[in-house]
Chain A
């Protein structure tokens, strides 16, 4: 078990969110989409230019930019 940043995850890798470090408006948007500690996520795809990243979360697909993914720590 290791804790890494969401940006460093590979395609098809899964993990559980440990913490969300963002605050304010950005932190709120991230959390309201269900990206909260304890949620398991799978990296589904990266866009052709490597950014943004698409995640499988609770049966849906969400996208995040890499600089937003930086705030999320994941245990893999």
Chain B
């Protein structure tokens, strides 16, 4: 018989098969293999799963201990990341910013570069990239290996198991718990991680809502604002607890918004049947330290960092340029700040913050430095950040910071709204680009970009309105 005939005959025969043929066939395969195994295998004694493994499993997924252990694990991973990143970040900042930047300025002088060229290259491009590297690299190099260790050990599938029911109720998949916690490290990595979700509908929900997981670039903003503004409202003894609670509160609000927006999406534009939750809970195994370090540093940290650099470099150029291009005696940045002051006021923020968010689309890490620089420029304050227009800086003195920001018209409301806006605004350009690469859809990329801003405007606007009514 010719091949064509065989194919034709096969497709004719297929119609004559009973409907449950595949099901019966699978059952027979299992029955056959069981028969073969029992004929040829000798089993001594009973297979015992290790007792500690059973105990650990029951501890991690138990009704009473499962959830608290999860929150505790998350809190400690974040704590280790934030505390552990301080020292290497400081070293990188010393090398790249304190020494590298003046050295390059000096080199530019020696080369007789015109002021605008050295400004764009050294004060704009180099400084922003150096900033992003020193702030982003250490936390990512700590968070991702920790995360991979938990993954290798077998803990993460248990997290998905624990949280599946909540996600199922909002029409999403339990594995979204994994991509969400990955998002706490970096949203771009979280978006890539959604590949573990098989159903395209549930995967899209996980991609679009990932931005509500507060990423590494936004934790410092939250901590700074909570310490400087909210901690200062209470007696010093309570300040630490109040500011920590405020930051945790924002993170948990993010979790709630994840559920809420997943529910909205799955009842409107992404309607559909919930898929199955058939997941294997792998046996616990000691993680392979070297492989973990390799995969998390190469696959996650460096790729994300590279993308961030690619986007931060032009942002540095833009930032320096808008501060130094003058139109009718005022810098372009000043014009933008004045223009956005009104809309900013409505949502409890100000023009400086909105301009900073536009310039800082490439990386959330540079929001605070940009805000500080623009505040100095608009208030004309002296004593801090005197390196010149368009040059980012950060100050380690909290009191100096509070004074500077209060001179810029900041109140407790501004700080509260900025904390909320930092949770609910567009993802950084690295994440947006990753969403585009993963979905190949302009529509879903736009939805992922603008939905969080919509949430942010509504939430901040409401808070500002109620605050002003109550406060008179």
Co-complex (A, B): yes
CB distance from B352 to the nearest CB of A (A): 45
Shortest C-beta distance, A32 to chain B (Å), equals 6
> Inside 8 A of B283's CB, which chain A residues have their CB?
61
Closest to B68 in A: A48
Whether B165 and A51, one on each chain, are in contact in the complex, defined by CB atoms closer than 8 angstroms, is yes
Interface residues of B, count at CB 8 A: 34
- Residues 165-179 of chain B, each 1 if its beta carbon lies under 8 Å from chain A, else 0: 110100000100000
Cβ-defined contact, A31 with B23, below 8 A: yes
Judge if B12 is at the interface, Cβ distance under 8 Å. no
B26 in contact with A32 (CB, 8 Å): yes
Per the bound structure, the CA–CA distance linking A36 and B20 in Å amounts to 13
Most buried by B among A32, A63, A65: A63
B161 touches A63 (CB 8 A): yes
* A63-B281 CB under 8 A given contacts A31-B23, A34-B30, A54-B61: yes
Q: How far is the CB of A26 from chain B (nearest CB, A)?
A: 6
Closest Cβ of chain A: how far from B441's Cβ, in Å? Answer: 24
A28 touches B23 (CB 8 A): yes
Known contacts A28-B26, A51-B164, A52-B161; decide if A38 and B277 are in contact (CB<8 Å). no
Q: Which residues in B have their C-beta under 8 angstroms from that of A8?
A: none
Determine the chain A residues whose CB is within 8 A of the CB of B341 once the complex forms: none
- A46 and B158 CA atoms in complex are apart in Å by 11
Structural contact, B26 and A62, CB atoms closer than 8 A: no
Which of under 10, 10 to 19, 20 to 34, or 35 or more describes the interface residues of A? 20 to 34
> Does B336 interact with chain A (Cβ within 8 Å)?
no
**In the bound complex, what is the Cα–Cα distance between A34 and B27 (angstroms)?**
8
Interface string of A26-65 (1 = CB under 8 A from B): 1111111110111100001111111110101001111111
Which residues on the A side are within 8 Å of B57 (C-beta)?
A: 44-45, 54, 61
With a cutoff of 8 Å between Cβ atoms, the chain A residues found around residue B165 in the complex are 47, 49-52
The digit string for B41-63, where 1 denotes a CB below 8 A from any CB of A, is 00000010100000001100111
A61 in contact with B276 given A23-B23, A47-B165 (CB within 8 Å): no
A64 touches B26 (CB 8 A): no
Given contacts A36-B26, A38-B30, A68-B278, 5 further A-B pairs with CB under 8 A are: A45-B57, A48-B64, A59-B47, A61-B280, A61-B281
| 12 A–B contacts, CB within 8 A, in A order | A20-B23, A28-B22, A28-B26, A30-B276, A31-B27, A34-B30, A45-B58, A59-B47, A60-B280, A61-B280, A61-B282, A65-B168
